[in-house]
Structure 1
Amino acid sequence: MSGKRVVRRSLPRAGVAAAAAAYGVVVRPRLLTWGATRAEAAGDWPGDDLIPGYDGQSTMATTLPAPPEQTWPWLVQMGCDRGGWYSFDRLDNAGRASADRLVAQWQDLAEGQRFVAKPDGGAWFTAAVVESERTLVLRMSVELPSGRPFDTRFGPLSAAYMDAVWGFHLRRTAGGSTRLVVRTRGRSRPRPLTRPLDLVLWEPVHLLMQLRQFKNLRVRVGAAPAHHSHRSTRRDFTPE
């Protein structure tokens, strides 16, 4: 085989390798820290200690045009059976629009409470850390591939599982707005199978969903102060 043929065949491979290296070194770290400062991305946040030996993490942030006490109620009422997730409703809320108002009966919150994650109620987040108007950490622990939740006190029943936290951290800015830092941290097994899925699917999906949630929260908290409705009607969940 001539040297020119070898070079021609090597060039595409070299290009793929260079692109993969650039993504891993330059692009991916930026995606996983979208909107966050270096201090926010490097800092420790409540709930981090719930996932020892983690193998995945992201820290994304935005500034919302309202103080924490006006932002907090929107987070408290999240869930498929309540206010939705304020993201792409066709993907995570069965096509029902997330609430555009605050509902009083959805404002009670305590550690251990469930946030339904699937419209059929088959999966949920658990409120693992609750500090009013400051920190809300949700945890999901499921076996794979069934998606069946397991009790973290006893561990998974199989060697295939995912255990992760999704933390919302509210900090008041000097101007009286809310700096919202969202930290995810997780571990999954078996890693040879779950890592490729993280890289090509879950990380990009989380980025898109999180940015959408930021955008929709910004609209909601930036609107005129909403009253706490005392009734839950299907108007809160009309199809898109």
Structure 2
Amino acid sequence: MAASAALALYVLRLRPRLLTWGAAHDETTRAYPGDELFPNADSISTMATTLPAPPEKVWPWLVQMGYDRAGWYSWDLLDHYGEPSADRITPEWQQLEEGQRLKATRDGQAWFTVARLEPNRTLVLRSDLRLPSGHSFDPQWDVQPQARMDGIWGFHLLPTADGGTRLVVRTRGQSHPRPLTRPFDLLLGEPGHFIMQTRQFHNLRTRVGAEA
């Protein structure tokens, strides 16, 4: 009974806050570029933070993300094999285009694909993973596996009246078979994303603020 009560509390009270952490109501309800890639998403989150610099100063930090580039500015021990993410803007990592792959793992068997790109405004990364291996596949060319997780990780920059930036991060995804992936989302996937995303927000604020 105690376990059931705890699960109900999490699903009904805590989970909605985790999925919309820092975001205002209008930020969670509006549409963003990249949403159309998964119109029937079975998992959605919208989180946000304010950064102390205009979008054109935030953009260079985002565009250089990648395992073999600047890292992800989150918990490096968990997503970058312990190697510190970059603490400066690096010119050779400023070139990015739609369709480009960004390595997500050291062995290169998992990656993000740049799905939408509008400088200083929008960067949408797409991930398509086979289960249980966690290796990426290309949905345009490969046969879609029966067990998979597909989704987007979108970064949207909105200028504020005082010269700062609202960074809104939208995720949307689908996974199959849902009876098996749903418990994973609830117990691990969504809490894990919250932990990593809030850390990235913190580290981006630190880096953008130091540069400003």
TM-score tier (shorter):
over 0.9
- CA separation in 2, counterparts of 1:150 and 1:167? 19
Per-residue CA shift, 1:109-160, capped at 9, x if unaligned? 1101111111221111011000000000000011111223222225643210
Q: Is the 8 A contact 1:85 1:98 kept in 2?
A: yes
SS of the equivalent of 2:157 reads strand
CA distance in 1 between partners of 2:114 and 2:162 (Å):
29
Cα distance in 2, alignment partners of residues 20 and 75 from structure 1: 35
Is the radius of gyration larger for structure 1 or structure 2?
Answer: 1
Look up the match of 1:165: 152
16-25 or 200-209, larger mean C-alpha shift: 16-25
Q: Which segment drifts farther, 20-29 or 185-194?
A: 20-29
Aligned residue pairs total 212
Deviation at 1:23, TM superposition (A): 1.9
Residue 41, structure 1, aligned to residue 28, structure 2: yes
**Cα distance in 1 for residues equivalent to 2:45 and 2:142:** 24
C-alpha deviations, 1:192-234, integer Å up to 9, x for none? Answer: 1111011110111100100000000000000135xxxxxxxxx
8 Å CA contact 1:143–1:156 kept in 2: the answer is no
More divergent stretch after superposition (129-138 vs 23-32)? 23-32
> Aligned with 1:102: secondary structure?
coil
Q: String of CA shifts for 1:80-132, please: whole Å, max 9, x gaps.
A: 10000000101111110000011100001110111111122111101100000
Residue of structure 2 equivalent to 1:231: none
- 1:89 maps to 2:89: no
Q: 1:25 to 1:139 in 2, by over 3 A?
A: same
Does the C-alpha gap of structure 1 residues 155 and 189 become closer, same or farther in structure 2, counting only changes over 3 Å?
farther
Partner Cα separation in structure 2 for residue 19 and residue 196 of structure 1: 15
Question: Which of 78, 87, 109 matches 1:100?
Answer: 87
Identity %: 60
Mark the runs of 5 or more structure 2 residues left unpaired by the alignment. Answer: none
Aligned-residue Cα RMSD (Å) equals 1.2
Q: Give the Å deviation of 1:75.
A: 0.3
Letter in 1 for 2:30: G
2:208 equivalent to 1:221? yes
Structure 1 position 21, deviation (Å): 2.5
* Aligned-partner SS, 2:187: helix
Unaligned runs of at least 5 residues, structure 1: 1-12, 226-240
Residues of 2 paired with 1:215 and 1:104: CA distance?
Answer: 23
Q: Deviations over 1:39-62 (max 9, x none)?
A: 111111110110132110100000
Distance 2:143 2:51 in 1: 38
Does residue 171 of structure 2 align to residue 189 of structure 1?
no
Q: Which residue of 2 aligns with 1:129?
A: 116
- Structure 2 match to 1:211: 198
- Partner of 1:162, secondary structure, is strand
Q: Which position in structure 2 is the counterpart of 1:178? A: 165
TM-score between the two structures when normalised by the length of structure 2 = 0.96
